[in-house]
């Protein structure tokens, strides 16, 4: 199940298709976030599926349980492969999301949750949200809530993979952005690691955007990152 997901952080469908056309030999798993989804809507998801790509729809739903359940019912019809919610919405909301997503044949896309955004700091928790606990404790606690609700796993920084696997078990999926090749720029990411280290730490999926989308040869960079990740994952097993 281990795989590399390319973050398609493009403003529109045209730019996205120009990028995907550079892949002639493979059909990478892709992540579509709010920008592209709001620009192009559901027809674009169908087009990407028809091209043969798996889709992680990164919309981070967070609302009252009934609204999230209804929204997930709509998303379930789009034949996407992975979707997410904010675990801060609570266990009831996550259970409702799962219910909405599950078809009458009991099939559904993978459902994962964000614990704390990597842009959230200890100071912000304390001063703005009045949460006094250490941020890592809140991340592990949120991950346990995600597991209790029956979801498949969490998105988190690659540096938190081990503590979450320890708390929630080896089968609990960990999806990690913040991945950089040794040679690539950090951009605005702070807590980063390489594909090799992410594999060794036990990530199940790595999400990579700019190091691949801005590369001179995206397909070659994609293959290099994927090989590094899969190879180090095997060593870890
Ligand atoms: O270009 P880059 O590799 O930094 O892209 C990472 C992707 O993962 C972006 O789409 C970003 O929004 C997403 N992401 C993240 N950190 C999180 C959650 C999602 O970087 N905690």
Cβ atoms within 10 Å, residue 157 = 19
* 60 is a catalytic site residue: yes
Residue 155 near ligand 1, beta carbon < 6 Å: yes
pLDDT of residue 96: 98
Query: Which residue has the least CA distance to atom 3 on ligand 1?
Result: 209
Name the pLDDT band for 236 (thresholds 50, 70, 90): low
For the chain, what is the largest distance between any 2 Cα atoms, rounded to a whole number of angstroms?
51
| Nearest atom of ligand 1 to the alpha carbon of 208 | 3
| Nearest atom of ligand 1 to the alpha carbon of 33 | 10
Residue 120 near ligand 1, beta carbon < 6 Å: no
Query: What is the 8-class DSSP label of residue 88?
Result: G
Instruction: Give the distance (Å) from ligand 1 centre to CA of residue 178.
Output: 6
CATH of domain 3-236: 3.20.20.70
Q: 0.75 exceeded by the pTM? A: yes
Cα separation, 175 vs 177, in Å, equals: 7
Instruction: Give the distance (Å) from ligand 1 centre to CA of residue 179.
Output: 9
Q: Which helix (H) or strand (E) holds 61?
A: strand 55-61
Instruction: Give the distance (Å) from ligand 1 centre to CA of residue 104.
Output: 33
Instruction: Give the distance (Å) from ligand 1 centre to CA of residue 177.
Output: 5
Q: Indicate the domain borders of the chain.
A: 3-236
pLDDT of residue 32: 98
Of 144, 147, 167, 143, whose CA–CA distance to 155 is shortest?
Answer: 143
Query: Which residue has the least CA distance to atom 20 on ligand 1?
Result: 177
Instruction: Give the distance (Å) from ligand 1 centre to CA of residue 157.
Output: 10
| Mean pLDDT value across residues 201-224 | 97
Cα separation, 59 vs 7, in Å, equals: 13
Q: Which of 60, 95, 144, 224 is catalytic?
A: 60
| Mean pLDDT value across residues 47-74 | 98
Express each pLDDT in 72-86 by its tens digit.
999 999 999 999 999
Name the pLDDT band for 237 (thresholds 50, 70, 90): low
The pick from 112, 207, 210 for probing ligand 1's pocket by mutation, whose C-beta has the most ligand atoms within 8 angstroms, reads 207
């Amino acid at each position: 199940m281990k795989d590399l997901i390319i973050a398609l952080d493009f403003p529109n469908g045209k730019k996205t298709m120009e990028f995907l056309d550079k892949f002639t030999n493979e059909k990478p798993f892709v992540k579509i976030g709010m920008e592209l989804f709001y620009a192009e809507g559901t027809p674009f998801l169908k087009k990407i599926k028809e091209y043969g790509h798996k889709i992680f729809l990164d919309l981070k739903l967070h609302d009252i349980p009934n609204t999230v359940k209804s929204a997930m019912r709509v998303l379930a019809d789009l034949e996407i492969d992975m979707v997410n919610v904010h675990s801060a919405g609570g266990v009831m909301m996550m259970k409702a999301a799962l219910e909405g997503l599950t078809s009458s044949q009991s099939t559904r896309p993978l459902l994962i949750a964000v614990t704390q955004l990597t842009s959230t700091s200890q100071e912000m928790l304390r001063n703005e949200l009045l949460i006094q606990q250490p941020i890592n404790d809140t991340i592990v606690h949120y991950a346990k809530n995600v597991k209790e609700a029956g979801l498949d796993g969490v998105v988190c920084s690659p540096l938190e993979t081990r503590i979450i696997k320890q708390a929630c078990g080896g089968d609990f999926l960990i999806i990690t952005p913040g991945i950089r090749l040794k040679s690539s720029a950090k951009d605005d990411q702070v807590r980063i690691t390489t594909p090799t280290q992410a594999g060794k730490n036990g990530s199940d999926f790595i999400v990579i955007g700019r190091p691949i989308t801005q590369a001179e040869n995206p397909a070659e960079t994609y293959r290099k990152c994927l090989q590094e990740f899969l190879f180090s994952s095997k060593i870890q097993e």
